[in-house]
Amino acid sequence: MTFLKKVGKNEDNSKNVAKERLKLVLIHDRANISPRFLEMIKGDIIRVISDYVEIDEEGIDVKFTRTRRESDNTPIPALIANIPIIKMKDRLMD
């Protein structure tokens, strides 16, 4: 029983809960910008990209995070946008 519990529980052990909560909190801490500002960026990105592809506007996710620069591995802030594409627009074909 304990064994089964262990196997099934892997995802919601308290460490993973902490990690996920922390990640979410840090996104906002790091950004140091209002959610409205992120919404504005999001809106502009949608407008530009929509000319070329049809995107899932509901699923778009824009966030501030930290990453490492490839050349020398120093940590730098990064703007990461996850944009689900539904399909490419025809005008790209010609």
Could you tell me whether strands 53-55 and 61-68 are parallel, antiparallel, or unpaired per DSSP bridges?
A: unpaired
Range list of β-strands (E), 29-93: 53-55, 61-68, 75-82, 85-88
If the CB atoms of residues 21 and 89 are measured against other proteins, the closer one turns out to be 21
Examine residue 68 and tell whether it contacts other proteins (CB under 8 A): yes
Identify the residue among 13, 57, 80, 85 touching other proteins (CB under 8 A): 13
Examine residue 74 and tell whether it contacts other proteins (CB under 8 A): yes
Which candidate, 58, 43, 62, 53, places its Cα nearest to that of 85? 53
List CB contacts of 89: < 8 A, sequence separation 6 or more. Answer: 51, 52, 53, 54
Least distance between other proteins and beta carbon 3 (Å): 14
Examine residue 69 and tell whether it contacts other proteins (CB under 8 A): no
Identify the residue among 1, 3, 7, 15 touching other proteins (CB under 8 A): 15
Least distance between other proteins and beta carbon 61 (Å): 18
